[in-house]
Copies of this chain bind each other. A is one copy, B any other.
Amino acid sequence: MTQNSIMTVSPEQFLAHWQGHRALTRRVIEAFPEDKLFSYSIGGMRPFAVMVKELIAIAVPGAKGLATDIWEEFDENVDLGNSKAEILYHWDQATEDINYWWSQIPMERFQEDLVAFGLYKNRGYCTLLYFIDNEIHHRGQAYAYLRSLGIEPPSFWER
């Protein structure tokens, strides 16, 4: 595709960027001791398992929304089970589902004004970057959780 040569980032590159971050977040989930994943907190913030619930609630409905502009109501109360294994299962399902929807995102969507989840008005690319940035933000908090537990987190630069 010739137009890629004058693009800052192609849709495929954005997907690889997000999935690279998601692979790192998966390793951060794995790094938590089972009980700390669901219970450990600093300064009244949510345990990382609850933050991960938010990330999963955003990911597939978000990718589907970018592809179709059909937005479900945002629902953080998805049932991911009560074990690390079940959370990782849902994480990996989301990885597949994001890939499924991605190829259906029309090129013009990135510059369209969207109302993500029926609530958040923004350009398409801003909506996408918000999903990714929100994940990096909460994962940064999880790094602080791990460090304060004396656990070395995975390297930030490995995706």
Contact = CB atoms under 8 A, between A and B. Distances in A.
Interface of A: 3-11, 13-14, 17, 21, 42-45, 107-108, 110-111, 123, 125-126, 129-130, 133-134, 136-141, 143-150, 156-157
Contacts of A107: 6, 8
Number of this chain's copies in the complex = 2
Contact of A42 (B3, B11, B42, B129): B42
Report whether over half of chain A's contact residues are helix, strand or loop; otherwise say mixed. helix
A111 B44 CA distance: 42
A137 B156 contact: yes
Contacts of A137: 136-137, 139-140, 143, 156
B125 A9 contact: yes
